[in-house]
Amino acid sequence: MDYKNVIVKKPWGQEYLCYHNNNVAIWFLHIKKGQRTSMHCHPNKNTGFVVLEGKTFLSFLRGGVEINGLNKINIFRSRFHSTKALTDAYIFEIETPEDKDDLVRLEDNYGRVGKKYEGSSHHENKSEECFWLEEASSESKESYFCGCEMKHMIIEDKQLLLNKKETEMIVITSGGLVTKEGQNILWPGDVIDGESLERLAKAFELGDNTTILSITK
């Protein structure tokens, strides 16, 4: 299914695809205040969350954590989780690999346990207001969305990963960081704050064809 031109309506709000390549897919989610996603997991894919704006509470099978804009979390495959919007919440969800059918619901407020991802009856055409992230560039091009500045950059020099701040959220969209022996340290789809990225970049090597999405307030 090609989701590029549709909005998927959800009982808790809506979501749509705003970027994808051979490594990752980035979806934009709007969860309405007081609503929550199902308690679900993805058996085969990893998920990164960046809360662009609003306040959320992310629950696991035991416990949870409040994540507000601008902040992030990585959720690894098979970990059950549910996101509740404490205010209207606007989120980037990064999937690796892209697969909307990789979904198992354990609990759901809207009767969707055991059901597949929403089909075409829940789709509507995108409007001009929908955001689409352009391909990475070696030039410093900015775009703005949900009160955030975004730069999708080709990284050919590791120095570009230094002097980052903790408040800058980074999504690896291809390449990453590797050891001298070629072991992956940061993979496509990983989400990391700028200060942690700088620390890793000082110790490890730049992977081939690395691109990053930088998100700042």
pLDDT less than 70: residues of the chain: none
**Structure token pair of residue 167:** 């408040």
3-state SS, residue 217 = coil
Q: What local confidence, expressed as pLDDT, does residue 141 receive? A: 85
Q: 145: part of which helix (H) or strand (E)?
A: strand 143-145
pTM of the model: 0.96
> Could you read off the pLDDT of 117-139 as tens digits, one per residue?
999 999 999 999 999 999 999 98
Please report the domains of the chain, with CATH numbers, ordered by start residue.
6-125 (2.60.120.10), 143-216 (no CATH)
Q: How does pLDDT run across 2-33, given as a tens digit for each residue?
A: 999 999 999 999 999 999 999 999 999 999 99
- Residue of 20, 36, 30, 67 whose CA lies nearest to 145: 30
